[in-house]
Amino acid sequence: MKLRLGMIGGGPGAFIGAVHRIAARIDDDYELVCGAFSSDAARSQATGLSLGLTAERSYGSYKELITAESQLPEHKRVQVISIVTPNHLHFEPARLALENGFHVILDKPATFSLQEAMELKAVMQQSGKLLCLTHTYTGYPMVKQARQLIAAGTIGNVRKVYVQYVQGWLSNLEEGTGNKQASWRTNPAKSGIAGAMGDIGTHAFNLAEYVSGCTLSHLCADIHTVVPGRQLDDDGAVLLKFTGGASGVLVATQIATGAENNIQISVYGEKGGIEWQQNDANSLIVRRADKPAETWRTGGSYTGSFASHNTRTPAGHPEGYLEAFANLYHNFALTVQATLLQQPATAEALDYPGIEEGIRGMAFIEQVIASGKSEQKWTPFIIH
Amino acid sequence: MKLRLGMIGGGPGAFIGAVHRIAARIDDDYELVCGAFSSDAARSQATGLSLGLTAERSYGSYKELITAESQLPEHKRVQVISIVTPNHLHFEPARLALENGFHVILDKPATFSLQEAMELKAVMQQSGKLLCLTHTYTGYPMVKQARQLIAAGTIGNVRKVYVQYVQGWLSNLEEGTGNKQASWRTNPAKSGIAGAMGDIGTHAFNLAEYVSGCTLSHLCADIHTVVPGRQLDDDGAVLLKFTGGASGVLVATQIATGAENNIQISVYGEKGGIEWQQNDANSLIVRRADKPAETWRTGGSYTGSFASHNTRTPAGHPEGYLEAFANLYHNFALTVQATLLQQPATAEALDYPGIEEGIRGMAFIEQVIASGKSEQKWTPFIIH
Amino acid sequence: MKLRLGMIGGGPGAFIGAVHRIAARIDDDYELVCGAFSSDAARSQATGLSLGLTAERSYGSYKELITAESQLPEHKRVQVISIVTPNHLHFEPARLALENGFHVILDKPATFSLQEAMELKAVMQQSGKLLCLTHTYTGYPMVKQARQLIAAGTIGNVRKVYVQYVQGWLSNLEEGTGNKQASWRTNPAKSGIAGAMGDIGTHAFNLAEYVSGCTLSHLCADIHTVVPGRQLDDDGAVLLKFTGGASGVLVATQIATGAENNIQISVYGEKGGIEWQQNDANSLIVRRADKPAETWRTGGSYTGSFASHNTRTPAGHPEGYLEAFANLYHNFALTVQATLLQQPATAEALDYPGIEEGIRGMAFIEQVIASGKSEQKWTPFIIH
Amino acid sequence: MKLRLGMIGGGPGAFIGAVHRIAARIDDDYELVCGAFSSDAARSQATGLSLGLTAERSYGSYKELITAESQLPEHKRVQVISIVTPNHLHFEPARLALENGFHVILDKPATFSLQEAMELKAVMQQSGKLLCLTHTYTGYPMVKQARQLIAAGTIGNVRKVYVQYVQGWLSNLEEGTGNKQASWRTNPAKSGIAGAMGDIGTHAFNLAEYVSGCTLSHLCADIHTVVPGRQLDDDGAVLLKFTGGASGVLVATQIATGAENNIQISVYGEKGGIEWQQNDANSLIVRRADKPAETWRTGGSYTGSFASHNTRTPAGHPEGYLEAFANLYHNFALTVQATLLQQPATAEALDYPGIEEGIRGMAFIEQVIASGKSEQKWTPFIIH
């Protein structure tokens, strides 16, 4: 049972739209049936046609898409809508989609503001529909394995959580060169109050809570706009305190010239530690006192059900970023299909990020930026 | 313009069929329209239905598929047929497909025997149709970069080619445990005269010639069947001589307990060397005398057109085995589309393995096994 | 011209004393002629005899050593005294040694308190003698290469400095098990006001300033005593601001169960970055925008004079921790020898840590601990 | 009880002499008391003086050294003589030293010819003195751990042994540039019948037998002189058969431009495998079926007695090539000291390479070169 998928955003010049579409195709759970790829109707149609859609279902705006699709017969109508627009165009399309009975896949961060994210949660709850937030890195099998091992007590009570996302692509004023990606991500009217912290800091924060199982309680941020002329932060470091006593450090920067996208996390507990990095995404280092470290591998016969459920190839045939992304789409599809069949979804299928992670991410953005401006050391992490 | 794809093989218990289907989907160049997934008609149909095909186009045999599809109107008829059966079922379906006007994607090794491969070439030439042989590893962007750098003289005249494919999955008599993959691959009636040398030795051989640009002239093989009770070789090592004076070593084994699939190649020339391994597939080490080694990366802004053409994500977001496989499908699609449009395909599109690689692979199998049995040191590598 | 070396500390149960002695031997610059290895005269003598010293020059206390050696004829008298005692026993022996005309090698951190370190500087200046502080990691050839590249502008103006020293050996209450190393290092009467921050935080801080060439201006610390019953900090993280605008993060922990001693540093500037870690100590990653990363290697023909001066073996024959330590001893010996010959020492020889680094380290300890207790975010890093 | 050490060879322009001297110093087991560092008496004396020797004991020839030292009183006389000359000057000094009652440390390969090595064994047996052959790589703690694990059955019966030593330093005709190291090593009058195979092939062969515990029975070699104008082989690859059924591949080359000295070995058995490489010398990968791979580390609390006996620093403080070399010197010293005390040496002390390894290495040289010239595939490895 393939789900009928629509897309909002992802037209010419976009990056993440194409990634979403590949992710949707890999496991064959979806059929792309419609899109509003651009606010320019002609460009949207051109994109739609290039993707094999008809002109009729290549809409000129998200409103048009939702209105038109709502009037189609149920067996033809889109079922899941992916929203891959810049942050300022997340909330309205998502709200409208949910209110009109569509499930939503939403690129991160959830919304433009925390307030919006909380409203979206209310809308979602009223709609009875589902929402997946694409925190890609939690889709990696070895990230899931790390979470499961920690949850199972393998490393004991967690003491330290180190997470970092070090990029270099905004080392210069890229937004002054016509780079569309750089332009909206550094524009407060489109990105929100945060640049790096919103774009990649939220990924790091989400990864930290997901893997460690810990809940942030306080933060202390040092936030910078390093490149002259830039309107938003492009660099930051944050001290973290978690409920339960663990502490940590989060680093997110986009101005580390020459660095790629090697997001990484280490978590240490009373009995051991785990270390994972995207550069060696199919390996998970598991350390324990007084024993050789182990390297768990994607596809290993010994991995748990969450890792193996999210794996397609034998150990040593690397799965990558697109497969991690596809795991979000696949698990969301399994969950949507289960609701359609009025059956329970498995724990493995349900293991995708959603609106709660979205709200926490937006709260992180607001409070990390506030902390960056504060002379006070610790800012409590509270979601009102 | 999506190409209409059919599949022969790839039913329940198969491994590579699912990989082919993902590879075909990733870049959205194909629409699966029909299949003969099993010689058991009911199983074939069940697979077809699960893949979203109609019962009518889920055929009970490859002959039925080719006959029936040939009678469909041209705009509906399958255009490209993927053959993912065991080796003994490569030649006949491929021949029939080509003779009936279909392009063919063929899993490696090309055929059951060298003789068949040569016949297939004749059939293909007469048909005017195209054939892609899925030597996956040549689809990796950094493998393509390696080939391009060597072809451009970066490391000077090639001196040494070391290639190895070390696996452990056949460390025990897996074929005695009901493992379907192990069963046919170790069965001379289905696999041909070679086990490990056919299954992975041909990959290593293809990679060696592809990357180095060298042509094998002589070989000297040490071939073993290590696991008692096994009918075919599961291990071997081969000394290589190339025309032009380079020499090398090829290792292929399936009995290295605990090893995964870390196929790797190093090529050294007068001025430098390159090193690549699947475990770090997005990196290419380039060495030169008296300079720091460089690490070229998939997605790097400095990579050449062959690498960048085969890359989907920014540097540091790893692409993996499935994307490498997808590159074969994508380039073949571009080439087929170009012929349909009567336009020339680009050099990048044409860079996929075909029947020549298939013939060389089959010759390698025949001569490496012969060399393994010979008391004579060097066996010339000749294709009659 | 071998220098006559004496040692204070380093008796039974000590760790770093043996390391100092190996470091002193590797390049044959020193001859061990005397020692006060323990405050227990019998134990000191036993150690001395086992090291080939005479009983006469195996002294029962550092005072005895300095007094007795001062009365020996100049050609026999010790010239350089290594002090490898716990922190509370650094200042007095060092002061006495300098005042009596001996050069001093001092284990880090310099003293028990900042006040002592400043006094020691005054004593040293008055004495006209030299002092080397053993911040081992700055002895690695690739650390020196990193400093030189940054000083030469290879990565442009520095933006970010990330340094971390993550250990696990104090994951449990080792000091309760009779572990002598753990005992004094966690004892405020012997170690001073800091545990982890004094023992390894100072190494990380020194490495950060040495490599980056930046000068700390402010810090914001989160300091923990994680293991119940411990008297001093065993974990911390520090946000850093440098004069000139760079910022950074320092992590030092001893409770990361399973972690070894992988001290590491990354520095990013406007034009590129460098990355080094002790786990791969003979490699230095140099990143630049839009080019492949380079791996500089100890022994590489292309390395600069500071790296090559500190290298003994060809590239690929790894040099390790003991050679890094030996580089400090060697460079100090070259400098002492130059003063004896009334010649200028080379820049490479003079490149060893001394009392200034000691004062900065002690200031770091005092202010990082103060910051850890403060509700105020930023503590200026001022040395009065 | 320090042993009195003399050295033959190791004067100006030598490489390995300095390495031997550092190795001898690291653990303080030896005191250098005399040397014949050059066949030029003035140069020998200059070297001796620079090393702190007297002019009297800086001899002009090895004969002079042995004659003069033999006449010194026993408590002053040299006890152990290190011979670090080119291969053609191994046998005579070693013979004379043994016959005059001195223990010998001999650089590899043992001698100029197999015949000489066998004679040396006879001389040694008659003398009752001891001999250590410096196959450095077997001194690494993780190499020793590998041997112990395999001997203990951890990976089951050995199936495959892959060993390679890939260098690039002779990529050009270095011997034409005045490079003294290159000159003698490529000169058949000094090096013997083999170049690369003698210099590094013997290391690889020794490592293979040492780690695997297997005994070579047959070999099939492809030997090349790649650089025009060179007089000896600079490249080769060898198929190996061992008694007991294991097989393998040995690669040794000096013309892999840009390669350093990354000697590496992998051994796979019925139940698992081990992998070690000098580039990550303090790690040993241990693989087993259906379990995560383990990384054993130098200094790990879980390592066996052979590894820990040969380790000086805690895990994560890397030990390198010089420490591996020092382990040979240290274990030989312990063994010599035990004989002086008429006590048994421990198994760990006795674990150093000696004349048997020397004979096997010389037989390897003779037969690998013979095999390289033969049209016959397999050459039995027989020592007459």
pLDDT of residue B64: 97
Interface test with B, best of C280, C286, C291, C303 (most B CBs within 10 A): C291
**Residue B1, pLDDT above cutoff 90:** no
pLDDT tens figures, C93-138: 999 999 999 999 999 999 999 999 999 999 999 999 999 999 999 9
Q: Does D7 share its domain with D87?
A: yes
Q: Give the residue numbers in A contacting B (CB under 8 Å), as ranges.
A: 2, 15, 18-19, 21-22, 25-28, 51-52, 167, 169, 259-262, 278-281, 297, 299, 312-323
Cα B282–A205–C364 angle (5° rounding)? 95
Mean per-residue pLDDT over chain D, rounded = 97
When CB atoms are compared, the residue of B278, B313, B315 closest to A318 is: B278
CB contact under 8 A, C220 and A377: yes
Mean pLDDT over residues A60-68, rounded?
97
Give the pLDDT band of residue D155 (cuts 50, 70, 90). Answer: very high
Q: Does D87 share its domain with D169?
A: no
When CB atoms are compared, the residue of B155, B249, B258 closest to D251 is: B249
Query: In the sheet where D80-83 sits, what is the strand order?
Result: D30-36, D3-8, D80-83, D103-106, D131-133
When CB atoms are compared, the residue of A290, A294, A301 closest to D294 is: A294
Q: Does A145 share its domain with A262?
A: yes
Query: In the sheet where B103-106 sits, what is the strand order?
Result: B30-36, B3-8, B80-83, B103-106, B131-133
pLDDT tens figures, B91-147: 999 999 999 999 999 999 999 999 999 999 999 999 999 999 999 999 999 999 999
Instruction: Report which residue type is found at C235.
Output: D
Separation CA C197–CA C178 (nearest Å) = 22
Beta bridge partners of B163: B250, B265
CATH of the domain at D155: 3.30.360.10
Structure token digits, residue A77: 């109508």
CB contact under 8 A, A239 and C220: yes
CB contact under 8 A, A25 and B21: no
pLDDT of residue A40: 93
**Residue D314, pLDDT above cutoff 90:** yes
When CB atoms are compared, the residue of D172, D239, D256 closest to B239 is: D239
Q: Does C264 share its domain with C363?
A: yes
Q: Give the residue numbers in C contacting B (CB under 8 Å), as ranges.
A: 286, 290-297, 300-302
pLDDT tens figures, C8-17: 999 987 789 9
pLDDT of residue B380: 97
When CB atoms are compared, the residue of A257, A273, A377 closest to C257 is: A273
| Structural domain boundaries enclosing B233 | 141-314+359-372
The H or E element spanning position A294 is strand A293-297
CB contact under 8 A, B258 and D273: yes
pLDDT of residue C14: 77
pLDDT of residue A13: 77
When CB atoms are compared, the residue of A293, A297, A301 closest to D295 is: A293
Beta bridge partners of C274: C267, C286
pLDDT of residue D1: 80
Burial D103-129 (b: 16+ CB within 10 A, else e): bbbbbbbbbbbbebbbebbebbeebeb
Say if D378 falls within a structural domain: no
Q: Does A200 share its domain with A231?
A: yes
CB contact under 8 A, B290 and C297: no
**Residue D14, pLDDT above cutoff 90:** no
**Residue D33, pLDDT above cutoff 80:** yes
What percent of chain C stands above pLDDT 70? 100
Give the pLDDT band of residue C384 (cuts 50, 70, 90). Answer: confident
Q: Which is nearest to C110 in space by CA: C202, C242, C180? A: C202
Q: Give the residue numbers in D contacting C (CB under 8 Å), as ranges.
A: 2, 15, 18-19, 21-22, 25-28, 51-52, 167, 169, 259-262, 278-281, 297, 299, 312-323
Say if B364 falls within a structural domain: yes
Of A129, A154, A178, which residue is a domain's last?
A129
pLDDT of residue A335: 98
Check if the beta carbon of residue B353 is closer than 8 Å to that of residue B138.
yes
Mean pLDDT over residues C39-44, rounded?
94
Compute the radius of gyration of chain A from its Cα atoms.
20
Say if D174 falls within a structural domain: yes
Interface test with B, best of A22, A169, A298 (most B CBs within 10 A): A22
Mean per-residue pLDDT over chain C, rounded = 97
**Residue A71, pLDDT above cutoff 80:** yes
CB contact under 8 A, D292 and A295: yes
pLDDT of residue C95: 98
Q: Where are the alpha helices (DSSP H) in B1-136?
A: 16-26, 41-50, 62-70, 91-99, 114-127
**Residue D301, pLDDT above cutoff 80:** yes
CB contact under 8 A, B18 and A312: yes
Interface predicted TM-score of the whole assembly (ipTM), two decimals: 0.97
Instruction: Report which residue type is found at B31.
Output: E
Say if D164 falls within a structural domain: yes
pLDDT of residue D12: 83
Mean per-residue pLDDT over chain B, rounded = 97
Q: CA of D298: which chain A residue's CA is closest?
A: A292
pLDDT tens figures, B263-296: 999 999 999 999 999 999 999 999 999 999 999 9
User: For chain D, how many structural domains are there in total?
Assistant: 2
Say if A134 falls within a structural domain: no
Interface test with C, best of B148, B294, B303 (most C CBs within 10 A): B294
Structure token digits, residue B359: 């013939």
CATH of the domain at C39: 3.40.50.720
Strands D158-166 and D247-253 turn out to be parallel
**Residue D15, pLDDT above cutoff 90:** no
Kindly report the nearest CA distance between residue D373 and chain B, in angstroms.
11
Say if B222 falls within a structural domain: yes
DSSP letters along C37-83, please? --SSHHHHHHHHHHTT--STTB-SSHHHHHHHHHTS-TTTS--EEEE
Q: CA of C292: which chain A residue's CA is closest?
A: A258
CB contact under 8 A, D322 and C321: no
What percent of chain D stands above pLDDT 70? 100
**Residue D74, pLDDT above cutoff 80:** yes
- Residues of chain A positioned with their CB less than 8 A from the CB of D297: 292-293
pLDDT tens figures, D80-93: 999 999 999 999 99
Q: Give the residue numbers in C contacting D (CB under 8 Å), as ranges.
A: 2, 15, 18-19, 21-22, 25-28, 51-52, 167, 169, 259-262, 278-281, 297, 299, 312-323
Say if B100 falls within a structural domain: yes
Of A129, A160, A182, which residue is a domain's last?
A129
- Residues of chain C positioned with their CB less than 8 A from the CB of A258: 268, 272-273, 287-289, 291, 293
Interface test with C, best of B283, B295, B308 (most C CBs within 10 A): B295
- Residues of chain A positioned with their CB less than 8 A from the CB of C373: none
pLDDT of residue D367: 98
pLDDT of residue C73: 97
Separation CA D225–CA D238 (nearest Å) = 15
Q: Does B204 share its domain with B270?
A: yes
Q: Does A153 share its domain with A293?
A: yes
Check if the beta carbon of residue B20 is closer than 8 Å to that of residue B10.
yes
Q: Does C119 share its domain with C161?
A: no
Separation CA C265–CA C142 (nearest Å) = 12
Query: In the sheet where C103-106 sits, what is the strand order?
Result: C30-36, C3-8, C80-83, C103-106, C131-133
Examine residue C109 and say whether the peptide bond preceding it is cis (omega within 30 degrees of 0): yes
**Residue B90, pLDDT above cutoff 90:** yes
pLDDT tens figures, A228-267: 999 999 999 999 999 999 999 999 999 999 999 999 999 9
Of B67, B102, B129, which residue is a domain's last?
B129
Q: Which is nearest to C109 in space by CA: C182, C44, C193? A: C193
Q: Does C181 share its domain with C71?
A: no
Separation CA B39–CA B56 (nearest Å) = 15
Q: CA of D292: which chain A residue's CA is closest?
A: A296
pLDDT of residue A226: 98
User: What's the burial of C343, exposed, middle or buried (CB within 10 Å: 0-12/13-18/19+)?
Assistant: exposed
Mean pLDDT over residues B71-97, rounded?
97
Beta bridge partners of B58: B35
Mean pLDDT over residues C193-220, rounded?
98
CB contact under 8 A, A155 and C256: no
Mean pLDDT over residues B201-208, rounded?
98
Beta bridge partners of B221: B238
Structure token digits, residue A45: 């149609």
Mean pLDDT over residues A293-312, rounded?
98
CB contact under 8 A, D258 and B160: no
CA distances from B7 to A23, B63, B99, B357 (A): 22, 12, 16, 22
Separation CA C268–CA C285 (nearest Å) = 11
pLDDT of residue D144: 98
CB contact under 8 A, C294 and B296: no
Mean pLDDT over residues C72-88, rounded?
97
Neighbours of chain B (3+ CB pairs under 8 A): A, C, D
Structure token digits, residue C55: 């009983």
Packed helices B114-127 and B355-373: angle between N→C axes, nearest 10 degrees: 170
Say if B334 falls within a structural domain: no
**What is the distance of C-alpha C346 from the center of its chain?**
21
Separation CA B65–CA B68 (nearest Å) = 5
Q: Does A248 share its domain with A100?
A: no
Mean pLDDT over residues A1-12, rounded?
94
Structure token digits, residue C208: 């950060």
Number of B/D CB contacts below 8 angstroms equals: 135
DSSP 8-state class, residue C195: S
Neighbours of chain C (3+ CB pairs under 8 A): A, B, D
Structure token digits, residue A232: 């938003």
Interface test with A, best of D294, D303, D308 (most A CBs within 10 A): D294
Structure token digits, residue B3: 């190409």
Q: Does D365 share its domain with D229?
A: yes
pLDDT tens figures, A113-149: 999 999 999 999 999 999 999 999 999 999 999 999 9
- Residues of chain D positioned with their CB less than 8 A from the CB of C315: 260-261
DSSP 8-state class, residue A2: P
When CB atoms are compared, the residue of D259, D288, D376 closest to B268 is: D259
Q: CA of C300: which chain D residue's CA is closest?
A: D260
pLDDT tens figures, B209-237: 999 999 999 999 999 999 999 999 999 99
Instruction: Report which residue type is found at A34.
Output: C
Structure token digits, residue A370: 């506030």
Residues near C190 by beta carbon (within 8 Å), at least 6 away in sequence: C86, C87, C88, C89, C184
Kindly report the nearest CA distance between residue B286 and chain C, in angstroms.
9
Q: Does A173 share its domain with A293?
A: yes
